[in-house]
Chain A
Amino acid sequence: EVQLVQSGAEVKKPGESLKISCKGSGYSFSDYWIAWVRQMPGKGLEWMGIIYPGDSDTKYSPSVEGQVTISADKSISTADLQWSSLKASDTAMYYCARQGDSGSYYYYWGQGTLVTVSS
């Protein structure tokens, strides 16, 4: 059974750094793109970027490029999303999602990681 399990909720202060993770299981982690999707409180879904764990090829949305870093370690089947300096506006639920077998839609989703940034 394919599963994506995300790390737990985080409460941080502005300016702090953070890394959240998404661990895949039940499939060949290296072979499928993993996306990160942001959902701000009460808002819609926003595609942030994707990574191919097999070679770490990464693509970002212009809206977040330079603000976050997406990485993956295929040896431990984990993809990460990290910030070097959080802002209050980073407060959101973050989902990881795996592409489907026949295209870049997102069939499997993690349970979400809530990030709260507040002074």
Chain B
Amino acid sequence: DIQMTQSPSTLSASVGDRVTITCRASQSISIWLAWYQQKPGKAPKFLIHKASSLESGVPSRFSGSGSGTEFTLTISFLQPDDFATYYCQQYNNYPYTFGQGTKLEIK
């Protein structure tokens, strides 16, 4: 199985900050990576696919980059609604796997 490792596990930031979450794959997954946002008690919400393709309707302050084994999700100018847990997911090889999550907290 491909292991997905996110860092940090928890991130404290303030409204207006720019933050970056890293996701590393245990082997190359090309660009087949998605990012999701999850708030407590809610289903995950899809944000980005193919590492950097932002879904329609997702604010442009979200961006993704990377290929191979290292990927990043950047949120510029944090808004109150952005405080949530973020997951990466590879869909290059079965079983598709998620990272363990990064909880973005208000500082």
What residues of chain A have their CB less than 8 Å away from a CB belonging to chain B? 35, 37, 44-47, 49-50, 59-63, 95, 97, 100, 102-107, 109-112
Known A47-B89, A104-B32; 7 more pairs at CB < 8 Å: A44-B100, A45-B87, A49-B95, A105-B89, A106-B34, A106-B46, A106-B89
| Inter-chain contact B1/A62, CB cutoff 8 Å | yes
Of the A-B pairs whose beta carbons lie under 8 Å apart in the complex, a sample of 8, sorted by A's number, is: A44-B98, A44-B99, A61-B1, A61-B95, A104-B32, A104-B96, A106-B46, A109-B46
| Inter-chain contact A95/B49, CB cutoff 8 Å | no
Q: Is the interface of A mostly helix, strand, loop or mixed?
A: strand
What residues of chain B have their CB less than 8 Å away from a CB belonging to chain A? 1, 32, 34, 36, 38, 43-46, 49-50, 55, 85, 87, 89, 91, 94-101
- State in angstroms the CA–CA spacing of A105 and B36 once bound together: 10
Contact of A105 among B34, B97, B101 (CB under 8 A): B34
- State in angstroms the CA–CA spacing of A103 and B48 once bound together: 11
Query: Which chain B residues border A62 with CB–CB below 8 Å?
Result: 1, 95
Query: Which chain B residues border A63 with CB–CB below 8 Å?
Result: 95
